[in-house]
Amino acid sequence: MKKIITISLLLLFLPLISSEIIINQQPDAIYNLGDVITVPTTVKSPKSVAGFFQMDLICSGIQENFYKNGVSLSPGEEKKIEASLVLTKSVIGEMKGNCTIKAFLGNDFSLTNNFKISDSIAIKTTFEIVEFNPGETITLLGQALKENGKAVNGLIELSIIEDNSSRISQAGTINNGAFSISLSLPENIKAGNYLIKLNAYEQDIDSQTTNNGFLNQNILVKQVPTSLEIVFDSSEVQPGTSLRVKAVLHDQTGEKIQSLTFLSIKNRNNKILEQVEIETDQFYEFPVEYNELPSSWKVVAVSNKLTSEANFTILEKEAIKIEIADKIVTITNMGNVLYNKTALVKIGNQSLNIDVYLEVGKSQKYVLTAPDGSYSIEISTGEENASATNVVLTGKAVDVKKAPGNLGSIIRYPFVWIFIVIILAFAVFIFVSRSSKKSFFGYITSKIPRKHSDSSQGVGQGLNHGYEMVPLTKGSLISSRNKAEISLSIKGDKQDVSVVSLHIKNLKTIQTKSGLEETLQKIVDIAESKKAAIYEDSSSIIFILSPSLTRTFKNEKAALEIAQSAKEILLHHNKMFKQRIEFGISLNHGPVIGSYENHVFKFSSIDTTLSAAKKISSLANEEILLGEKINDKLRSEVKTIKQNKSGIDVYAIKEIKNPEQHAKFIKNFTERYEREHGKR
């Protein structure tokens, strides 16, 4: 106590003697909050010194003392002082930036080199994906370092910012500077641009934030089709009017999406009557015949791999048409149900009732009679009325009778009967004359199955047009009039054929056959329009173009058109349906022995033409690959690139030299198919 009092008195009453203050170690260039700055200092003096040794932190003109201690030195004595500064807000407050430390004793002082106090954290991450689907998870891996280069041990927060406010966020930890954080987007998040914000920070023991840093990144949430809705102008349709229907595609929030949809209209027997590709949210009108029976029909919409079905009802309609021509009244059932009512007929001043019983689409004629004269005629059924004036009638009494049939008309008009007899006699004469002159060759020709002479005239008009379409195999999804079969023992002609092989790779794993049967049948119809015979083997459909069937030796171009058409149809199917068809197509050329027997093309392969075609199609991936022989024959039609797949040399199509011809064929076929498909 005496010593302290003595030093204090010396400080008050004795003049201070100059001393030397030496900074033994300069601070580092940069410090972050939470760091400790150590400033080892030596104080010495040639004379006796007594006073308070202090250290102040000076930042941007603000000075704050952090160390103070009394010092008493004898002449020539020196003292080492170890002073430390802990960079916490409780010690330095908000002081940061460019700083220095001042060490002083009395009027003597020394300054350290300038250094920086920072609270900044730098975040580094790889952010390669900037577009996300709703429900997708955003995962970020990265590194967080303080400005002093040291690793961060703290927390990190990932936030999705919309309209300057946080929508969703996820917190994680940073250990030794490394972090991994994930955030799942909501399934119903609105499509649009968003800001992703990463915020890294450290906290002190009082849970006060010390160092922090952030990183921003723009992302796009895509508009994803999630539902397909079928909308009717009215789900109850009167016969003789048009169904108005549209498909509306919705995204994850219910907003409409503009796209294309494939609409199919099926009747009560589930038979497709119309197929059309149209923009979504646009009404399509389908006319319903006036006599279409009351029933429930179906509309199937396919768009962006979504499928939707909805039913509509064709209502009952009871309607007739009454026509008066001279003394003949014709009543026709113009509705779609049986008409069974009583009609009132007024001839002059007299009224009669007739029972009208007509099936859909049927007509009945009635003959009006009355004593010779001119009459006013009125006919009424309640729903329909007709009238005529100055109708000349003859007879004994007022009456209405059903008109006689055709035979009665003929009897009533003998000259018509005579004319028909003459025509029939002439026809019999011609038939007998031609039969007596039939040659041996004519007899042989009559035994040969009739073949359609021009299959290009309509969809499905192949070699056996007129024969019933039958499934190729038991349980097959497709039917054909032009069936082909392999025969091990066959007598026929050796001929070079062009072969198209369509391999369905995932046929056994397709969960739903929705649209599959119709797609494959459409391809078969195209092949039959080119007079191809159809052979089915496991997961492959083989189209054989034989000179004995096509009546030409140049079938390579037709094979190419079949292959290109099949590819376009399958790619369109994959675009419209959720269940994809994985396929490959090949073309090959080689010899077979074949003959046409009992409406079936029976053949036997001489070499590996068919087996090679099936192998190549199994190697193709939604493309057309050519064998070497047919590649040589198609050089004028296509440019190809040679490839080797599984040890087999194949040729991939690079360019079709006359694409407009192929496009014209597809267009013409499609028009015919849409026009005649409902008739098959």
pLDDT tens digits along 599-608: 788 888 888 8
Q: How far from 156 is each of 137, 159, 181, 202, 415, CA to CA, in Å?
A: 17, 10, 8, 9, 107
Read off the pLDDT of residues 516-525 as tens digits, 9 standing for 90 and up.
888 888 999 9
Q: What is the largest CA-CA distance in the chain?
A: 166
Give the lowest-confidence range in 161-165, 179-183, 261-265, 564-568. Answer: 161-165
User: Is the per-residue pLDDT at 451 higher than 70?
Assistant: no
CA 63 to each of CA 27, 91, 92, 116, 507: distance values in angstroms, whole numbers, following the listed order: 17, 12, 10, 15, 82
Provide the CATH topology of domain 2-118. Answer: Immunoglobulin-like (2.60.40)
320-402 and 455-679 agree in CATH topology: no
For the segment 641-670, what is each residue's pLDDT rounded down to a tens digit?
999 988 899 999 988 877 666 666 666 666
Mean pLDDT over all residues of the chain?
84
Residue 306: the pLDDT is 93
Q: Which one is the CATH code of 227-314: 3.40.50.720, 3.30.390.50, 2.60.40.1930, 1.10.101.10?
A: 2.60.40.1930
Where b means 16+ CB within 10 Å and e means fewer, 506-539 reads ebeeeeeeebbebbbbbbbbbbbbbbbbbbbeeb
User: What residue ranges do the domains of the chain occupy?
Assistant: 2-118, 121-221, 227-314, 320-402, 404-448, 455-679
Q: What is the 3-state secondary structure (H, E, C) of 512-571?
A: CCCCHHHHHHHHHHHHHHCCCEEEEECCEEEEEECHHHHCCCCCHHHHHHHHHHHHHHHH
Give the number of C-alpha atoms closer than 13 A to the C-alpha of residue 118, restricted to the C-beta side.
18
Assign a CATH topology to domain 121-221: Immunoglobulin-like (2.60.40)
Second-level CATH architecture of 320-402: Sandwich (2.60)
What would the mean pLDDT of 465-478 be, rounded to a whole number? 63
pLDDT at residue 408 is higher than 60: no
Q: What is the pLDDT of residue 317?
A: 92
Q: Indicate the CATH number for domain 455-679.
A: 3.30.70.1230
pLDDT value of position 404: 77
pLDDT bin (cut points 50, 70, 90) of residue 434 is low
State percent of the chain over pLDDT 90.
55
